[in-house]
Structures are given as C-alpha cells and as structure tokens.
Amino acid sequence: FFFGTNIFCAKVFRRVVRGVPRMATMTTGENKPMDVDEKKAVPRLEASLNIPDNVSFPEEEEKVLQYWKENDCFKTSLKKSEGRTPYSFYDGPPFATGMPHYGHILAGTIKDVVTRWATQTGHHCERRFGWDCHGLPIEFEIEKQLDIKTKDQVLEYGIANYNKACRGIVQRFAKEWETVVSRTGRWIDFENDYKTMNLSYMESVWWVFKELHKKGLVYRGVKVMPYSTGCTTTLSNFEANMNYQDVSDPSVVVSFPLVEDPTTSLLAWTTTPWTLVSNLGLCVNPKFKYVKIKDTKTGNVWILAETRLCQLYDLKKAEKAKPPLFEKLAEFQGTELAGKEYVPLFPFFTAMKEEGAFRVLTDGYVTSESGTGIVHQAPGFGEDDYRVCLAHGIVKKGKGVLCPVDPSGRYTNEVPDFQGMYIKDADPKICEAIKAMGRMVNKGALVHSYPFCWRSNKPLMYKACASWFVEVEAIKDQLLEASDATYWVPDFVHTRRFNNWLQDARDWCVSRSRYWGTPLPIWHSEDWQEIVVVGSVAELEELTGKKFDDIHREFLDDVRIPSKMGKGELRRVEEVFDCWFESGSMPYAQNHYPFENKELFDKTFPADFIAEGLDQTRGWFYTLLVLSTALFGKAPFKNLVVNGLVLAEDRKKMSKSLKNYPDPMEVINKHSADAIRLYLINSPVVRAEPLAFKQEGVKEIVKDVLLPLWNVMKFFLQNYQRFQREGHEMPRELKPTNTMDRWILAASNHLINYVKEEMRCYRLYTVVPGLLKYLDNLTNWYVRMNRRRFKGDGDGVEDCGQALATLYSVLMTAVHLMSPFIPFITENMYHKLSQLLPEDKREESVHYCLVPESDSSLLDEVIERKIERMQTVIDLARVIRAQQNIALKMPVQKVIVIHHSKEYVDDVTELKDYVVDELNVLELEVTSDEKQYVVYTAEPNLGVLGKRLKGDAKKIGPEIKKWTHDDVAQFLNTKKAVVLGHELGEDDVKVVRNFAEGCGDYLSNGDGQVLVMLDKTQSEELLLKGLAREFTNRVQKLRKTAGLQPGDAIKIYYENVEDDAQITGALAQEASYISDTVKHPWADLKAGAPQTDIIIREEQELNQKKVVFVLAKP
C-alpha cells in the first residue's frame, strides 16, 4: 500500500470538525486516580472490524497496555531492532521522593516520541530509567520525619541510622512512578534501571573525580559560597540561581565615625544588617568623587559618594529648599579616603584592628547604582568582601575567616548579644542596637529579588567555607567549543541562555557537608601535605587491606590509609559529592564505566539525544558538559530538546498545597494518555515557553483529533465491509485518476518527507501541527468530499474500490506517522486495519513497523496547490455564511471568485464542481476581471507617512488619491509605488474596495490575494431547496439514532402534519434529489401507514411546522 498528506500549518489545530459524522461518541473513564495495587479485569485488544458506536479511549488504552504487557512488546521491539545502527539516549535521573507531575510527563513524552521515532526509522535504541538517590531532596524529607534541624542532632542520631533512613525512602514512590510512566505510553526499561546509590554507580563517580584530579582540575579552597541554612550545606552557583524570590529586606544607612575626626562619619548602606556584627572594613571606589556634607537639620557631618546623595535626600526638593537641606563642606576622590580608620560598630572583634581591620579600602566593584558609594565589608559573608579584604591583608590566605555563624545560621558565642539567634531573626534586634548607639542614619525596606534554597525554600546566605572545587574557569574555552558542537531545540536556549552561562562560569564547588551521598574519595594527612585520591573500590581495598560492599559514609568515615610519607594514618575528608556531580557522571556510571562495558560506551558516547526542562540549563545540562569536556574534550550529547515549564491554569507554579492543578492520573483516566501527550507536545512548551495547563485543552484534543481519526477508521471499515458483502474486492494496486485521490496521495507522501525532515531536526513544534493539518485534510476534506464514492454512489464499482484503497493507504500512513506521538490509538487502529494486509506483511504491533518511505511518483505539487486554493475559496465563503447566519443547507444563488492571476483562476475553475457542491451554490463564476465587480480607490496613511516623510506627506497625499483602479491594482500586485520620488510600501497606503454598480446584494471576504463575493439574496426556489436538504438531513440523523448501519434496508415515511405549503412544495420540487440522497423508498404517511415493523418514529419541527418521521422495515 501507499502512504501520504498535506501539511505546512504551524498553527495549533483548533478547527471545528465539520465533515466526518460523529459515528463514534466519546465516553470517559472514572474520574479518579489509579490505584496501582488495584486488580481489575482488562479487556483484551481486539482486531475486530466491527467498531462499536461509543468509544472510551481510556478503556481502549487499558486494553493496549495489557496487550503490550502480555506480549512484552517493548523488549520485543528491542530484540527485533538488534543489529541496527545504535541510537544512544540518556535519561536524566529524577528523585522518587514524590509523585511524577506534568513536567515529568511532558519530558517523558518528548523522550518517548523521539526514541520511538528512532526505532521506527531503522535504529536500535535502548532506554534505561534512572533514579537520583542521594542528596538534599532525600535528606530534607528524612529530617522533616525525624525532626532533625542541626548537624549535632544528626551525629547524635548516628550517620549509619540517618543513611539507613534515607535508603528506606529513596524509592518510596518507585512503583507509582513505573505505573504512571507506563500509563502515559512511555516505553522505557525499569527492570535494568540505574541508581546513583548503587556501588557500581558510586565507583564510577570516584573514577570521574580521580581523573579530574589527575588533570589538575581539583583543588581545596576557602571561598564565599551560597549556603543553605535549611540544609546546612554549601550550594553550587547554579543551584543558587534556581529559586529567586521577591522579598522585603531592611534597607539601612549606618554611620562610621572617623578616628581622626569623630564628628565626621562615613555612611554605608546595607540590606543585610545581620552582617554588620562582622564588619571589618569599608570599601570605596577609587575613581568616584566623594563629598563631605553637613546635614542642616541635625548638624551631623557625613561622607558619601556625590552621585548617591539621593540615598539621603530628595534632590529635586533639595534644590528648592530654604534653608538648604545640607551644606557641602568638601569633596575628594576615593583614593584620598584610603586607609582612614573608623570606630567599629560593635565591640566583638576589635582585636582585629591589629590585622588592619576597621579602615577604608578601595576597589572598583563599588557601584553608584544604589547605596552610598561606600560598602561595608564582612569577608565571611560576601564574595567581593572576602576578595577585597584578602587583597588588603585583613584576611590571610590559608587562614580562617571571621564567621560567627553556625551551620544552622545562628550566631555563635563569639557574638554574645545575639548568641543562638537565627541571622534573619536578628535583623530587628541589631537595628535596635545601632539606633541606641545613635548610628542609624535612616531605615526603610527594600523589595528585591533574592536567592532561596531550591530544596528548603529558606533564604540563602553567602558564607566563607573550605570546599572542594572543580576548576571550571580553567576549561572555559573548551566548554564553549564543546557546546558549539551540539545542536539544541530551541536554539535560543543554547546560544543565549546556556552559552551566556558558560561565559560567566565559575569554579564548581562539588563537596557538600552532608551525609547521604557518594563520599569524596580523598584521604589526607593532618598537615595536608599528603593527599590520596582513590579512584576505585579495588584501589581502596589495596590501600587498606579491607573489603567493601558499600562505600557510603558510615562504612568509610573510620577507614584509615597508612601514610607512605611517614605521616601516620590518612583520614578521609567528611564531605560527600554534590548530587549534581553524580547525575553529571551518569553517561559513565550508569554502565559502571570504565570497569565494565567499555565497548558499549565507545559505541554509544556521546549520546545522540537528551531532553529535559528549561530548569536543567544550569543544572544537568551544565554538569554533563563540564565533566565530559574535562574528561574527553567533547560534549556528552549531540542533540538536545529543551521544554518549558508547565504551570497551573492561573499561570502560577503548580502547587500541591494550593491544589491548583488536576491530578495527572485523573486527567488520563478521564480523557486518555494520548490526549494529554498530544496536548503537551502541541503547545508552546516544546519551544521552551511556559504552558498554562488547561484540562479543557486535553478534552479538545479528544474531540478534535482522536475522535475524528477513530471515526475515519470506522467509516472506512463500514464501507469496506459493505463493498465486500456486495461481492467486490478492494484493489491492492493504486491507480489514482480521481483528482481528490491524487491530491491526498500527493499530500500524504509530501507529509512523509516533511515529518522525516522535521524529526531529523528535532522540531516537534512543527511536526505535530503538520500531522494535525493532515488529519484535518483527511477528515474534513477528503472523506467528506468523497463520501458518495465510498458508499458506491460515484462512478461505479472500480471508482469505489479505488477510493477505498486510497483511503486505506493514507489512513495507514497516518497510523504509522502518528504512532510515536499517540501510541495507544494507533496501536488499536493498526490491529484492526492490518487485518486487510497479507499475513506476511502484518506485524504484531505498529511500533515494530518502520516509518514508510515516500513514493516520489505520487508527489504532485501542482495538485496540492490547486486543492489549497480551492480550500481557501471555500473557507472564505463559509466565513461569509457564518457571519450572515446562512446555514450551509440553504443554497445561495451565486458566488464570484476574483483573482488577478490566470493560473489561480484556472486552478479554481478546474475544481469548480467541488466548490459548487461544498458551498451549496447554484452558480459559480471565477474571473480575473476585478473591474467588473470591484472598484479600487486609495487613501494615504498619513499617520505612517507623516512620521517617515514629515512635511512631504502632505504633498504625497493628494497624488495617492488620484490613483485609478488600475493604479491601485498594480500597487496591490507589486506592493510598492514611487510618488514624488518617494518609494511607498503597503503600510503607507490604505486601499479601499467598493462594489461596482449592480453588486449591492453581494457580501465579500478576502485574504489579501483572492476575493470571494457571495450573493445574499434569497428566493422561493432557494428556500425550497434548503428545506429539501434539511428533510434528508433529518432522515440521516434518525437512522443514526436508531443504530442503523449503512447497508440496512428501510422504508421512510413522513407526515406534513400542518400541511405546510412550503414543505409540500419542497418535497415535490426536489423529489429526485431526496431519492438520490436517502437511497430508500419514501412515502407520505397520509397515503398509507407502514405495513411492516416500525423501527423508529419521531415528531420534529421543520420550517417551524410539525413533521412526523417514521423508519420501518421494508
């Protein structure tokens, strides 16, 4: 059989289904979440050609799932594809501490579509699920359960007990995950999954770290890092960027009196009063101009940057104030302030004065955008503070940094006035103390964006910590080069967001002061002169003489390695790896590389494809690239698809506590997994834009896509079986001569090429609209316009056979091309439609089939062009009907189609019969003679011209108004004109269309190229024709209500109860049309009641008069 369709529609398919009758209606499953332990009988997937009238897609999907399970279809597909070209895919590991949400379903659907497509285009694609088992998400859950808040409480509970508790909840929802993921139709291997807590995985992580250490890319250093007091650990810079929130913080200006002149004070501004207790310096910009002023009201003398006087005064009011608000006493450069000593704010660390503290420092990082141009320095809590104090000798390299805050963010006994107080809770108390000293100049509040911990949702602090780093900055050029070799969809995420992040990449802190994670494999002597980095379990066993089946902290913290330098025993550092380091090691650790599977790794690295959400740009995508580039000098993936975020319907973040989104399983069980898959991947979210999830949108997919597709199959099978009952066989060979057959076959083969190309480029956002446009063409154009041929009322048996063979061919093409996107309904349809294939051509699943190749002999751009133009004309005329409430059943006298191109006129004229039939019009005229019906005039668009041409616009306006009809027509054709030396474009001229004399009864509609005019006048003849059409429509609907099949013989009776003259006239005038349409005998009940069993009787209103319809056995 052949394959094919029409495409190139980038708009979401929202057209109301017009053509294929709703032979099947939709029923839904129960609106409740699936109980994963629920045992229920699932009907088997049937290949029957008899399709019931009602269909529940969720129930049909359950049958498909059962079929896949019983026949182990996923494994079978892998076995069948063995020996093909490998297609490598990496699946990013989620945490199993919560249920999967729409973001997971979206990313999983994208991955499933691409990997199914790879398999069905001749590749072997293994897909393994993975689990992120370590790190803060697990620990945070445990600490909530155990009510643990501090490190001391963890140590008291015991790391072994703590990690045992973590291990116990790691896969708390693993079974539910497998159920939900499988229910969405995703094929992925859960049996052979990888877990970051497995010994084999952790050992590969050790190998990665040791390789980096060998390359000199690992170092231990003290840096001010983002720190989570909620999780009591440092975070990496990219983690700190994951959760910014708008908060209101204190905004205070504090005075620092000069030692040399206590009546003069330096002013510093801060939004973190809690850091003031650790103040060791003040920093000015050496290039700024500073002023010494006297406040008129208080008499206080202050020094601040001249450009920042606005921090204290409203300068507009200050200019007019009498007496002046302040008096300028002196001005000087920042360099002149350098070294000046000031009185410390608090007495806690006055001893630091001997180290050079409490003086003015200089650095260019001080800006004039906010504050006073003087920045207070607390080197333990600010990256720039630390750097500046280090440069000025207040902080000594290799020595500790003043940091009087414990791991939980509470002050230590170094600050007795605030000891035990949480830093943010201390802000008001500190401000009160400063006010009591008389050094609070002003105090307010500032709403600004501030980073919060992505896990505990507490505000981060920046804290000096001794940590282990990967020297990312040393390989920045290689990272950018490796990144440039990758292909991203959409591209802007790569070229703008990701590469900009790489440009500013900082060294990566990979150590965490935590417990449940892969321990850093670093052993060291007390003086740090001897360091051993272990790269494997075997190496550790050799160094210690012990055996290890587990290398979590509880098994290593007491392990010592004898020194080879005579320094006694080496002790392991306490830290564990950042879980992002573990997930970034996934390409190697999932297969225990390099300890096993070297050949497999060499064949499948780098991955052909990965996909995750936009939030992973600075997460998994980044860590993957850093480690791979450092190890192998290249990116670990070739192609990457980034999806946006799925939001609640109100465009807020989905929240369990707010309950602002429907449970995913409820939506699936109500509308189907296919519907939710298609809804998600046919949305802006596949272009990395946000999607406000609406359940109504999923419902529309069922109505506008799944039901029409299902009904086309049912329509085909009904007519195929009728054709067989009449003793005919559908031809195996296509010989398309009918225009519509040629079109749909050409469009179908065009679609195959289009989908293959777009999928090659991973552009799902163009593939799906193309497929949906094809479905629209198939259901609403091809099937509807050929219904009579399918039913045998066309040009004989051979024509009917060719129509059915064509429909079968393109329907099978749709099933094959859409199977990666909507795997359930296509599997179901394939099982039914494939019964018509020879047994040796039939597969047990559509997902075992290869995507068909296009047949170039059936491609025909000309016929596609002609049909597209015909569709445009029909759609434009339908809009006129809809605007004027003229029903399609009501004929119109005349439609005129006007286009300046002879080719266009010839194309529509060739398809004139289709246009007449579709528009229910008695007369159609297609012409290029616009002047006969339309008169063009032109007006200057003075708003546009005035901005561009200024005074010349007034001269040009009268010239434009002189244009003749032909002048305007020429302008419309070329879209440009020259007037008084100025070239004008479309925006410069307003074209006015007026009907020519004698065309007043017409309505028009156009698309800028073609104009359609429709005669709105109605006559008695047209009214009777419309009544006759409505009569036949009522009969057909009654047949459906009675559950009759196309081949069922009946006799039709009617009674014009009120003897309406128009009804009587319509039935007499259009008797031939009615007979041809209903195809069964029909008679007036008044001439005699039925002599056989009545099937159905119904009284209705026709032309606002009562009419009785009766269907009886013949």
Q: Which residues are catalytic?
A: 93, 132, 580, 616, 620, 653, 656
Angle among Cα 450, 453, 458 to the nearest 5 degrees reads 80
**Which residues pair with residue 282 across a beta bridge?**
360, 376
Task: Supply the DSSP symbol for 460.
Answer: P
Q: Are 909 and 891 in contact (CB under 8 A)?
A: no
The answer for 409, left when phi > 0, alpha when psi is -120 to 50, beta otherwise, is: left
Angle between helices 823-833 and 707-725 (to 10 degrees): 0
- What is the C-alpha separation between 1097 and 1106, in angstroms, rounded? 13
Peptide bond into 323 cis (omega under 30): yes
Task: Supply the DSSP symbol for 657.
Answer: T
DSSP alpha helix (H) spans, 438-577: 476-484, 491-492, 499-503, 537-544, 553-556
- What is the C-alpha separation between 978 and 969, in angstroms, rounded? 14
Tokens of 963: 């244009």
Amino acid identity at 95: F
Peptide bond into 490 cis (omega under 30): yes
List Cβ neighbours of 262 (8 Å cut-off, separation of 6 or more): 343
Helix (H) or strand (E) holding 108: helix 102-119
Angle among Cα 12, 13, 17 to the nearest 5 degrees reads 165
Specify burial of residue 1017 (Cβ count, 10 A radius: 0-12, 13-18, 19+).
exposed
Q: Where are the beta strands (DSSP E) in 318-362?
A: 326-333, 360-362
- What is the C-alpha separation between 1114 and 1111, in angstroms, rounded? 9
The answer for 545, left when phi > 0, alpha when psi is -120 to 50, beta otherwise, is: left
Q: Are 170 and 96 in contact (CB under 8 A)?
A: yes
Task: Supply the DSSP symbol for 520.
Answer: P
- What is the C-alpha separation between 630 and 510, in angstroms, rounded? 14
Angle among Cα 907, 912, 916 to the nearest 5 degrees reads 145
- What is the C-alpha separation between 232 and 215, in angstroms, rounded? 31
Question: At 7, phi and psi to the nearest 5?
Answer: -140, -140
Task: Supply the DSSP symbol for 93.
Answer: P
**How many residues are given for the chain?**
1114
Angle among Cα 443, 446, 448 to the nearest 5 degrees reads 155
Q: Are 562 and 530 in contact (CB under 8 A)?
A: no
Neighbours of 582 (CB within 10 A): 27
Q: Are 654 and 104 in contact (CB under 8 A)?
A: no
Tokens of 577: 């790896």
Classified as helix, coil or strand, 572 is strand
Number of H helices, E strands in the chain: 40, 42
Q: Are 546 and 152 in contact (CB under 8 A)?
A: no
Classified as helix, coil or strand, 131 is strand
Question: At 449, phi and psi to the nearest 5?
Answer: -85, 130
- What is the C-alpha separation between 503 and 591, in angstroms, rounded? 32
- What is the C-alpha separation between 286 and 337, in angstroms, rounded? 9
Classified as helix, coil or strand, 1035 is helix
